A and B are shown apart, each in its own frame.
Chain A
Amino acid sequence: MLENIVSALDILFQPARLLALFVGMLAGMVFGMLPGLGGVAAVSILLPFIYLMDGYAGLAMLLGAISVIYTSDTITSVLLGAPGSPASAPTAIEGHALAKQGKAALALGVGFLASMVGGLFGALILSVAIPIAGPLVLALGTPELFMFALVGLCFAASMVSRDIALGLAAACFGILLGVVGAAPAAANYRFIFGQSYLMDGLSLPIVALGLFAVAELISMVASGGGIAGKPMALGKWGESFREFWRSRWLVCRASVIGIFGGFVPAVGASASTWIAYGHAMSTSKDKRRFGKGEIRGVASAEGANNATVISDLVPTMLFSVPGGPAAAIFLGALFSFGFYPGPRMVSESPDLMYMIVWSVALASVLGAAICFAVTPYIARLTRVNFALIAAPLLLIMVAGAYQGTQTFGDILALLVLGIVGWLMKNAGIPRAPVLVGFVLATPMEQYFWLTTQIHGFTWLTRPGVLIIASLIAIPLVLNAVRWLRRRRTAVPQTETAVPGEEPPGHDSGIVLFTALLMVAAFGYALVEMLGFRPNARLMPSLGIVPGLLLSLYVLGRQLFRLHRQGRVANLASRRELPILGGILSYGLAMWLIGFNLATPLLLGWLLLGCARMRWHTALLYGLAVYAVAQGMFTLMRLTPPRGTLLDLPMPW
């Protein structure tokens, strides 16, 4: 074994392979930082290039990208408040709150270090795949997988926001989005409106891009300044090292939770991150700072998500069952290079296994170091007029979305979800639970169905189920009890205080409109659902019925508030409407005259109209951005969306 560890290092330390690992890391870091684009986008863009190399170099390139995605997306989550994936949502909540308090460096530093530790834990579990990890994966039966997903969703829904009704309604809405497409239990297509585009359901990158990135983009362009409003102070790195050392055991425990997340196909990081976050909360004495900038929240989430993405490779290597979407593409790459994953491959070519372990470990450490180095430069970008950054960012998002199926449905879904995200943002409805509900709806439904089919109701007595339930759900129950007790004593004040008081910063007209829209959506979904086959109804009903009741409650509460105030107050979001309109027009223009012609119009509007650049600098910058966007499409081997009326083909 020892000689394999050394010879694997020998294999990796060839200039070409190290270079490949490094290039993969850079690509992974850039894609991690771009909102909405994550591991899958990075790995699928790199995929055609790995065929130009030898097997080890190609695999090292993919591993480099996979290992650093969740490290570098900390930067976007903290500075922008838009998570790159559901697994970074806690980081976005806590880290962005810290950034607003001028403690961005603390959040980022702890995030990078925790990510690094998570990655190293992942590498460790990979290196003991055969004796330890394999049996663990086989010990997790379908009921245990279901429990894991359920507990993850419970944690995410229970700690979303102070306004529990809004948080739960958002999680229900996420479930509704998640059940679009084919039902796992009965061959029934749900909510597809006769569109074959929706048969596979909505894709995660498009949902994440629409809900978060498009909505943030609109309000930032509208505000006319930089991302931070005022120059964002990074703060000192030193404090982050001290804080990291203080929560070192928390990070280790979070990494172990993350490792188990990797053993659960399809559920993975979205559940384990929230479970780790919940664990941080239940082991903290002072829980009030959670949601307002608690560094332990960042430390636990970042430790867990990086450990998960690496331990996703364990089921991939041992059973050729990918633990996550990026691991699925990695599996394809292994096949292409003539490696056929399975216990035999792991025991017969230990060199490959340890080469993977070394790549992951090296990339985790180097990735964190590079993140520390580049952050000051990226933080400077937050002072630039956002309309300038918005232009390339929007084009990247279009390209990222269009990668889904390369039909106009991708663009349409992005824009519709962008409107939804914008409404939710302005109505003060948290969006993280939507993402978690969306991701977990399908695996939960699938595992629940399989569990009851295979085991009847005896699954509830399985030791694994009881262990997961007791280890993780007991603190949750204790917290709920504590919370209820506190609430009971606090009821008199809240009853009188809440109804009349408008939460600050939310457009009451938008709140009303969004509540109405949600009632309509859930109501329609309920009617539609009654036509489904019985087996296809369970999961949608779990989202739709409480969702309808909650949104009715929110609507009633809002009407009551408006009645008390006697006027529609706080129309802050109205000034963002022109920007929303502009982006929707861009979508329409793309449909009519194609990406190649519509994009110059968009650039003109953003650079001259919004950023008020002088026309010749705008022309230069616009040309550069346009060239980069076209290069992006070429790199991804995509033809940009064509117009239905006329189209300008590109010469290549």
Chain B
Amino acid sequence: MILPDTPLKSLSAAVLVAAGGLAAAPAMADDFYSGKTIEMVVPFGEGGATYVAAKFLEPFLEKHLPGNPQVNVRTRPGGGSILGANWFQQNAEPDGETILFTTSSTSNPYVLGMEEVEYDLAAMRPAYSLPFGAVIYVSPRTGIETPTDLHSPDMPLIYGGIAAAASDLPVLLAFELLDLDLRAVLGFDGRGPARLAFERGETNIDFQFTPAYMSQVVDMVEAGSAVPIMTGGSVGDDGVLSARDLAFPDYPSVYEVYEELHGEPPSGVEWDAFQAIGATTFNFGLTAYLPEGTPDEVIEIFEQTIAAINDDPDYQEQSQDAIGGYDLLPASAVTDSLSEALQPSDAVRDYLRTLLSEKYDVEL
């Protein structure tokens, strides 16, 4: 899985060259982390997807960061990740030794401006991201074979999810964008129980993130009990979610499906909302944040480290099973697009808040 040769990548190369040129004494960076310990804060419980991904990355960071620091994954669960992120905001020093590694569960409440949020994600400095793609699939009983059939199913569509303001948000926004007629049943314990309900025939449209899709749904597709329809997509040259998911180049993105249905690329507030929330959920699915005010030197160290990890044959071999085979995105490929997604226009924010409170009964 290789990052397409985008201007962003060339930009990152340029930054690297510049960084190399500017840092007159590379020896300084060489032992920056020597004898130090990095605490990678995961605001979820042990054993969850974020924890597993953090543990997967731990040895690669220890191997490739200059000075080979010890990396400790530390869980701080609670408040749907808000407690851990608040703790990070209040306690982490901008010395590159504390990292917040988290998902859209932390960014969505921030974007929505929820009361409990005490952290300023947009002010933090992303160190790297790991894309976390997702595939939307339906039951063959619906008669849907291609995205164009989405508006003429043989039976009413029922979607099973967790909570509208949490990880279901981008998919619900995609359904809004495509103007699908479906019933969303929210309140499941997690994506696993929601998938079990799909397997039992209680729901008939579902989505799974890449690792779970690979281990659970691929078999169902082969057995003919699930039909893949589309993916959330990935951030393309234009900085928005217009490209195909790199792990599923055969399936169209939501962007393409809209284009196919309407004959024109998506636009308007519905698209902007999907783009903002979808980018933080899928393309920047798992993002490592450093505290506000972290010096450029640390960011540059991570830039080089991430490139080295992506080139590590061990990483390429193991990442396929563990995390869906995505390359890590360095800060240069993350910062601008993520910052834009974290700070949508007031119109988008109002649209999101109105949709959530009126259609999904969410108290904000």
The chain A residues found within 8 Å of chain B, CB to CB, are 44, 47, 51, 137-138, 141-142, 182, 184-189, 194, 196-197, 199-200, 265-266, 315, 319-322, 328-333, 335-336, 338, 340-345, 404-407, 446, 449-450, 453-455, 533, 535, 637
Contacts and interface: CB of A to CB of B under 8 A. Distances in A.
B361 A533 contact: yes
Interface stretch (B26-34, B131-139, B187-195): B187-195
A196 B80 CA distance: 9
Interface of B: 45-48, 51-52, 55-56, 72, 74, 76-80, 82-83, 86-87, 115-116, 158, 160, 163-165, 183, 185, 187-190, 192-193, 195-197, 199-200, 202-203, 211-212, 214-216, 219, 318, 321-322, 356, 360-363
B78 A407 contact: yes
Nearest to B158: A454
Nearest to A44: B46
A477 B216 CA distance: 42
B17 to A, nearest CB: 37
A328 B87 CA distance: 25
B82 to A, nearest CB: 5
A38 to B, nearest CB: 15
A330 B183 CA distance: 34
Nearest to A139: B200
Contacts of A321: 190, 192-193, 195-196
Nearest to A328: B47
Contacts of B164: 187
A200 B77 contact: yes
A454 B182 CA distance: 12
Contacts of A141: 197, 200, 202
A329 B46 contact: yes
B213 to A, nearest CB: 11
A338 B46 contact: no
A319 B47 contact: no
A535 B116 contact: no
Contacts of B212: 320
B362 to A, nearest CB: 4
A152 to B, nearest CB: 17
B78 A335 contact: no
Contacts of B46: 44, 47, 329, 332
- List the 9 closest pairs (A to B, CB-CB), nearest first: A332-B47, A187-B362, A321-B192, A340-B215, A405-B78, A329-B47, A184-B187, A199-B79, A196-B116
Contact of B318 (A44, A338, A340): A338
B254 to A, nearest CB: 24
Contacts of B185: 450, 453-454
Contacts of B160: 450, 454
A498 to B, nearest CB: 43
A450 B187 CA distance: 7
A199 B165 CA distance: 14
Contacts of A266: 189
B361 A454 contact: no
Contacts of B360: 187
B321 A454 contact: no
Nearest to A47: B46
Nearest to A183: B187
Given A200-B80, A341-B215, 13 more contacts: A47-B47, A138-B200, A187-B163, A197-B78, A197-B83, A200-B78, A320-B215, A328-B47, A329-B47, A332-B48, A333-B47, A338-B318, A450-B160
Contact of B165 (A187, A338, A341): A187
